[in-house]
Every structure is written in C-alpha cells, then in structure tokens.
Amino acid sequence: MQALALSQNEVKSAIAAGVVPVRNKPKLEARFVRDMAELRAAQALRASVFGDEFGARFDDSEGLDRDSFDDFCDHLNVYDVANGCIIATTRLLCSEQARRAGGFYSASEFDLGAIVRLPGRILEIGRTCVHPEYRSGAAITVLWSALADYLLQNDFSYLVGCASISLRDGGQNFSVIMPELRERHFVASELRVTPRRGIDVEARETAASAMPPLLKAYLRMGCRIGGEACWDPEFNCADVFVMLDVSMLADRYAQRFLKAG
C-alpha cells in the first residue's frame, strides 16, 4: 500500500482545522485501524464532523470524540492515500465484544429486547462520518465494500446501528422524513425497538426533505428502520435505529459492494 504522504500530526492538524490537503487526484483505500495513532485520527475526524454538523462538544483534553466503547470496537477508516489524509471512519462492535462492553451502544437510546433475542451474530455500526469534501459517493462506496466483506467473512446475521437526523433546524426536516420512513422502511412490528427519549415535533409543510447522506446510504444498502426515533440531547439530533438482515441484501447492492471469491 502507498504510504501516507503526511505525518499523523500533520493529518490531525489538518482535520482539526477543517482542511483536507488535496494536492493530487484522490485515491481511496479502506483499512482497519492498526495502532493508537490511527485510532486518534479517526476520533479527531469524528469530533470535527460532529462538531460542525451537530454542534456537539466533547469534554476531552485533546478535543477528540472518544468513549468507553472505542476500546471494544474494530475501527474501519478510509484514506485518501494520494493526499495523505483520513476522510471517513466507522466503528464496529460485535455481539461478543458488546457483552464485554456492557451492551451495544444503541441500547442507551433504544430498548433492544426484540433484537438481542434474534439468533445469529449481530454487528453494530456506529460513529460513521465522512469529511464534507469527500461526499460525492466514492468514500461511502469504499467504506461499504469493506464493511460488506467484513460482514460475510465473519458470519454475521444482522447489522444494526443508529443514523442521525439533525434537529438544528427546529425539527422541520425530521418532521418530513419520519412519515416517509414509517410508510416505506419500518421493520415488522415484532422487531420494533422502543426509543428511551421520544421526540415531539409538529409536522410542517415544506417543499422537500433532505435525507441525510448516511441514512440514505443505509437505506440503499437494504437497511430497514426499527421504529420511532430517539432524541440525542448531546448531538441535538434524532436517531433512528437501522437494521439489515445480511441474508436479505438486495441483489444490486450485493453485486456492487461484495467482492467475488
């Protein structure tokens, strides 16, 4: 693999400043975190993106977004190796590690009773973000391809997690998106999760909704929505629970994301 062009300190400084130093034609590559420096780069990217988009503030001496779950997760980063920068990240928590961590992260927002009783291995995805200068679709494609390989190679039955809808507009976008999710994307009633903090937002008339890119990507991958949204006061957003039955991956996305052999 081509070496990163910048030192980790330079990458961290660029992310903190909200600048990706693009000098060459981007070349994207996904790989799992191998050391603490790469994990901190992911945590710095998370803090930058979530701070800018949701106004989240992190009580951390280094200004990073990190919590107790990070130590139990596998972290998958996407790098622009031509320009020496991390441009996307997500973290993955399997059933076995979730038991060691005290449960899945999403259990803090939803009653997962119907989910944890399902047979087979469960993988939780979380803290997914993409640098705003790399949201044309290529970064998500690279990330999802690596994720799909990981799901199949490790015999997971379900992928679960949370997707966020910002409430910084007073809930206007959320009030338009939720009816669409209820009508077209909810799981069967026996698989529904219950939010621990409900959201009471009055429906409003608007010309169109703006589906968050990551939520749109989950739906395109074949994910379903587990029920009503939970209010996340730290990020001032509405989180919806997403769920994918790995055996039911739509053919067109299986062909797109899964590598042969």
Find residue 171's DSSP bridge partners.
Answer: none
- What are the residue ranges of helices labelled H in the chain? 8-16, 36-54, 95-101, 113-116, 138-153, 172-184, 213-221, 251-257
CA distance 29 to 121: 27
Predicted pLDDT of residue 189: 96
- Domains of the chain by residue range: 8-257
Q: For strand 156-166 and strand 121-130, is the pairing parallel, antiparallel, or unpaired?
A: parallel
Predicted pLDDT of residue 219: 93
Instruction: State pLDDT tens for residues 70-109.
Output: 999 999 999 999 988 999 999 999 999 999 999 999 999 9
> What's the number of CA atoms in the CB half-sphere (13 Å) around residue 23?
9
Question: Cβ neighbours of residue 117 under 8 Å, at least 6 residues apart?
Answer: none
Mean pLDDT of 225-254: 86
- Going by pLDDT thresholds of 50, 70 and 90, the confidence category of residue 28 is very high
Q: How many residues does the chain have?
A: 261
Predicted pLDDT of residue 163: 96
Instruction: State pLDDT tens for residues 179-209.
Output: 999 999 999 999 999 999 999 876 666 556 7
Predicted pLDDT of residue 123: 98
Nearest residue to 153 (alpha-carbon basis) of 76, 242, 42, 84: 76
User: What percent of the chain has pLDDT above 90?
Assistant: 64
CATH number of 8-257: 3.40.630.30
